[in-house]
Structure 1
Amino acid sequence: MTELSQAHQWVGIDVSKRTLDVYVRPLGLSVQVANSDSGLRELLQALTAFRRETSLIVLEATGGYQALAARTLMAEGWPAVVVNPRQVRDFARATGRMAKTDKIDAEVLAHFADAIRPEVRAMASEASQHLQDLVTRRQQLVEMMSAEKARQRSARARTGQSIEQHIDWLKQQIQDLDTQIEQLIAQSDQWQRTREILTSVPGIGAVTTGLLLASLPELGQISAKRLASLCGLAPFNRDSGQMRGKRMISGGRATVRTGLYMAALVATRHNPVIRDYYQRLLQRGKLKKVALVACMHKLVIILNAMVEHDTLWQAPACSLPAAT
């Protein structure tokens, strides 16, 4: 054990509502603690014995249950990172780990940490987490309202009245959240400036801006290629031998991609750069959906450059006329 403790240690933590299952690779140590302040104190004490050898701790995003553990570990200076569950599932299948228990999942996470070594990122501030919570809740309420409106179309009179009252309540809740989001953004000079930059772009409104501030904090901080990949807008090759398959997008942050889809849809009508680009793609025979995804990609590249260079939108001196 002494010899093993001198090597690099990779820690995987499988998170559930009540417990944290921990596995240390290659030491082979397994620990289960409560997903609580007292449980985390117990975990930190157990990890302290080989703190200097611990290269990375990986936790899987689990509906917010990982937040307390991630915040605690990062606050104590441990190299911890929260990863996408889909990546870990794909990794488990690729390594032949088909069985699934909490202990096995922790082992897979530790192996993932060792093999993939995802980049450690700074933990979001309390204000950023608050903004993310507000934006997420707003999205949930919008989805509820869409579902209620769908039910309303086929509802009988008495049921329809109940649905209409619920829709009115949802609208008020969404308005209240919009106010809270606006007030929170107003407390940060950096957020205010980023909002000013983003909303200067035709097609980007307050809702999309709030979403990008909350869910894409890397905007303006990383390369356009990496940002497109984070948004799930980087096309992947599907070639084999002589076969050349269609390029497809996948993965990334689904909520950001959905927000950019709506923004690009508006931009194809009101933003001269995106509109002309969209029309040129259609004239070249591209399908509308393919052309719209390309516009989303172009839009996020433009936004990234503007935030990086702290510049407002400037309409082109002249733009190509829209195709009729």
Structure 2
Amino acid sequence: MEQRKTIIGIDVSKKTLDVFIKTIEVHIQISNDSEGFKKLLALLKVNKLKPEDCLFVLEFTGGYEYRLVQFCQAKMFSYVRISGLALKRSMGMVRGKSDKIDAKRIAEYGDEKQSKLAAETGSLANIVRLKRLLSQREDFVADRKAYDHRYKELQYMMDLPDSDSILKRFKKTVADFQKLIEKTEDEIVKLIKANDAFQLNFELLTSIKGIGQINAWTMIAYTENFTSFQNGRQFGAYIGVVPYDFTSGTSIKAKSRTSKMANQQIKALLQMAARAAVLHNKELNLYYERRIALGKHHMAVMNEIKFKLVNIMFAVVKKQKPYVDKYKIAA
């Protein structure tokens, strides 16, 4: 029988880490930086806890935990990140909340689920870079839209000629942001092509009708190239496209609904993919029409389409084979 690990639960925030070591029932708060990590190493050394005997369990925040992950990789500590939704569901109804309490609850979750938790591997440097580039691109797109709106509004309201200096500056700003968007996208393309695993999965994802390069880049970034989620359902829950039943006995029978504790940014991005899929993917188009014919609401069906797309993306990556359009083959 494999020896159980010493579970170290960590509640992560931007500036601090609350650490709870399950076996010795010790809590410590440290800074989320190299100085804090030195204190943590010292604590483990005092208690004679070796790297190979420890498993760090922390919440997946999408950013604040990266320094800690890099520390774990450098010092050969095993670690696993858990979604906030999984942690919340495992705890049920709880009383009281603080970073210290959360760290202890994370450690207890890790101890209970230890046999089912698989330690993570691989470097996150390229993933972090990809996320930053995607975030920057999104900011540039939002700024371009804002200035383009001001330009058109001013032109309409004031009836100014194109030669007006104010309009010229707005127009130039819009053009400048467009150039920044293109430069950022060029850098993303280079990053993807420089990594064989990224490039292969990018090609597989874009073989799916409805999935363009922006959605493919985003999926690679937020699934950490399909290593941080075991299947499409897990990722679907993370972005809020998996409906859950809300029933209790015979008196409470609410409609199934998705979680609000989800990454709404990715969900919104998939909305465009779902629209394109309904128009150009025969299989999903027929599914959409069948559901609408049954009286389902348009937005509910579109949510189902998003979930189907997520499952298809995970399937092609798992099989490492491009999407096959069975209707095209039949024709």
Bucket of the pairwise TM-score, normalised by the shorter protein: 0.7 to 0.9
Q: Once the 2 structures are TM-superposed, how far is the Cα of residue 52 of structure 1 from its aligned partner?
A: 7.0
Structure 1 residue aligned with 2:187: 180
Q: Give the AA of the match of 2:195.
A: S
Unaligned ranges ≥5, structure 1? 1-5
Q: Once the 2 structures are TM-superposed, how far is the Cα of residue 88 of structure 1 from its aligned partner?
A: 5.2
Residues 220, 305 of structure 1: 8 Å contact kept: no
Residues 20, 33 of structure 1: 8 Å contact kept: yes
Structure 2 residue aligned with 1:245: 254
Q: Once the 2 structures are TM-superposed, how far is the Cα of residue 205 of structure 1 from its aligned partner?
A: 1.1
Measured against aligned partners, the alpha-carbon deviations of 1:77-109 in whole angstroms (never above 9, x if no partner) come to: 2232334456556777832123x3x44443344
Measured against aligned partners, the alpha-carbon deviations of 1:11-31 in whole angstroms (never above 9, x if no partner) come to: 233444444332223523233
Residues 8, 54 of structure 1: 8 Å contact kept: yes
Unaligned ranges ≥5, structure 2? 159-164
Tell me: CA distance 1:23–1:150, structure 2 relative to 1, closer, same or farther (3 Å). Answer: farther
Structure 2 residue aligned with 1:3: none
Using the TM superposition, name which of 250-259 and 293-302 deviates more.
Answer: 250-259
Tell me: CA distance 1:146–1:121, structure 2 relative to 1, closer, same or farther (3 Å). Answer: farther
Structure 2 residue aligned with 1:307: 317
SS at match of 1:173: helix
Structure 1 residue aligned with 2:32: 35
Q: Once the 2 structures are TM-superposed, how far is the Cα of residue 181 of structure 1 from its aligned partner?
A: 0.8
- 1:198 corresponds to which of 183, 205, 219: 205
- 1:236 corresponds to which of 237, 244, 263: 244
Q: Give the AA of the match of 2:9.
A: G
SS at match of 2:255: coil
Give the TM-score normalised by the residue count of structure 2. Answer: 0.78
Measured against aligned partners, the alpha-carbon deviations of 1:123-164 in whole angstroms (never above 9, x if no partner) come to: 444223322222232233334444555555656878776655
SS at match of 1:291: helix
Residues 238, 263 of structure 2: 8 Å contact kept: yes
Structure 2 residue aligned with 1:74: 73
Structure 2 residue aligned with 1:107: 104
Distance 1:134 1:227 in 2: 21
Q: Once the 2 structures are TM-superposed, how far is the Cα of residue 310 of structure 1 from its aligned partner?
A: 2.8
**Residue 292 of structure 1 pairs with residue 302 of structure 2:** yes
Residues 51, 77 of structure 2: 8 Å contact kept: no
Q: CA RMSD in A?
A: 3.6
Using the TM superposition, name which of 108-117 and 73-82 deviates more.
Answer: 108-117
Using the TM superposition, name which of 112-121 and 31-40 deviates more.
Answer: 112-121
Structure 1 residue aligned with 2:161: none
Structure 2 residue aligned with 1:64: 63
SS at match of 1:245: strand
Distance 1:302 1:24 in 2: 40
- 2:293 corresponds to which of 280, 283, 292: 283
May I ask how many residue pairs the two structures share in their alignment? 313
Distance 1:152 1:94 in 2: 52
**Residue 267 of structure 1 pairs with residue 266 of structure 2:** no
Give the TM-score normalised by the residue count of structure 1. Answer: 0.79
SS at match of 1:134: helix
